[in-house]
Amino acid sequence: MDIVSTQQRKKIHPHKFTLWVAIASMIMMFAGMTSAYVVKSNQAGWQEVVVPKIFWGSTVAIVASSLTIQMALRSFKQRAMSPYRLLLAITLILGILFIVFQWMGFFQLWEQQKVTLRGSGAGQFLYIIFGLHALHVLGGVIALLVMLMKAFFGKTKQYTAVPVELITTYWHFVDALWIYLMLFFLWVG
């Protein structure tokens, strides 16, 4: 009996495995887009773009949210539901703040005529890459909202940390991805 339970603990949960496969495919997608940026930037007519300063606000928001979600996971595992709910709500608010900062940054780019429907340059890549990242964060915000609703109104008696671990892993991924993208556009762009 002990051998079976030890083997089961060593196996990865199917939802976690699926998340890691999805993360791997997102990494490949963003690696492909940043590689295309490098290749395209060597062509004639390329226009550089300066990353709006408001994106630094995005960076602060998402890094802070990564800390709060990790603290929420710890609170959940300790069965401290009040701090868990609070930290999850703060993470949700920071995720929404990230998206708001992104929106404001794209308006700044649009006003500078750096992101247009015509032409060639870094603006189009910035728009697509950062926009896709913001959509991934939006998906995480929706998942956080669902988790928060369950934390306050859920009637389930089953106490499992897997859903909280999944959203935490995903949230750390979008945080790390954002840091990579910012560094990429600061150094390469």
Considering only CA atoms, which of 155, 161, 152, 108 is closest in space to residue 130? 108
Q: Is the dihedral of CA 40, 41, 42, 47 positive or negative?
A: positive
Asked whether residue 29 is domain-assigned, the answer is no
| Structural domains of the chain, count | 1
3 pLDDT band, cuts 50/70/90, is low
Which pLDDT tens digit goes with each residue over 67-99? 999 999 999 999 999 999 999 999 999 999 999
Q: How many CB atoms lie within 10 A of CB 6?
A: 9
Q: Apex CA 23: angle with CA 21 and CA 26, to 5°?
A: 115
- Residues 175-184 have pLDDT tens digits of 999 999 999 9
Assign residue 177 the CATH number of its domain.
Answer: 1.20.120.80
**pLDDT higher than 80, residue 2:** no
> Is residue 100 situated within a structural domain?
yes
Q: What is the mean pLDDT of residues 138-155?
A: 90
